[in-house]
């Protein structure tokens, strides 16, 4: 019996899910599928230059699993580029993660976002008071 696949953490969703060669009508195109977690692997490894180990940590998988994900992703992209196919980005086993933290000022009630990994803000950007606290942001829906 095969082990269930672990959900991959995805921190970027551009809202664009289809790429095709210019000047070729859709009905003439073959299509390859790139899953959302494979697109995230390409972003982390090839765009941001992370090692497989570091990118695997970001996605919540082992280095070896990340290696398999990125290999399949690169094969799909290479197939599309070399053979003139469209790329459809959809599906996969993933959870969309929050990419920002939300804060509320206790003095002026201002709410603002800070990117993850930037440390604790020093003051409210509206009134510059340091009486603020972190609040829960809206949870992203899981899409598989």
Question: Does any domain span residue 2?
Answer: no
Report the chain's mean pLDDT, rounded to a whole number.
87
Domain count, the chain: 2
Residue 142, pLDDT above cutoff 80? no
Residues 80, 17 share a domain: yes
Residues of the domain holding 84: 8-96
Look up the pTM and report it. Answer: 0.68
Question: Does any domain span residue 32?
Answer: yes
Question: Does any domain span residue 53?
Answer: yes
| Phi, then psi, of 134 in degrees rounded to 5 | -80, 140
Could you report the per-residue pLDDT of 57-95, keeping only the tens digit for each?
A: 989 999 999 999 999 999 999 999 999 999 999 988 888
| Phi, then psi, of 46 in degrees rounded to 5 | -90, -35
- Residue 80: CATH number of its domain: 1.10.10
Residues 108, 65 share a domain: no
The CA distance from 88 to 54, in Å, is 27
Q: Confidence band (pLDDT; 50, 70, 90) for 131? A: very high
Residues 106, 71 share a domain: no
């Amino acid at each position: 019996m095969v082990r269930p696949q672990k959900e991959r953490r995805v921190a970027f969703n551009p809202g664009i899910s289809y790429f095709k060669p210019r000047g070729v009508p859709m009905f003439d195109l073959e299509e390859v599928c790139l899953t959302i977690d494979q697109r995230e692997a390409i972003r982390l490894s090839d765009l941001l230059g992370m090692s497989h180990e570091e990118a695997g940590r970001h996605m919540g998988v082992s280095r070896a699993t990340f290696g398999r994900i990125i290999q399949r992703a690169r094969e799909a992209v290479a197939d599309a580029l070399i053979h003139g196919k469209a790329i459809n980005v959809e599906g996969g086993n993933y959870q969309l993660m929050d990419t920002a933290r939300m804060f509320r000022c206790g003095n002026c009630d201002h709410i603002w976002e800070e990117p993850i990994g930037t440390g604790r803000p020093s003051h409210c950007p509206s009134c510059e008071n340091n009486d603020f606290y972190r609040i829960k942001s809206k949870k992203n829906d899981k899409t598989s």
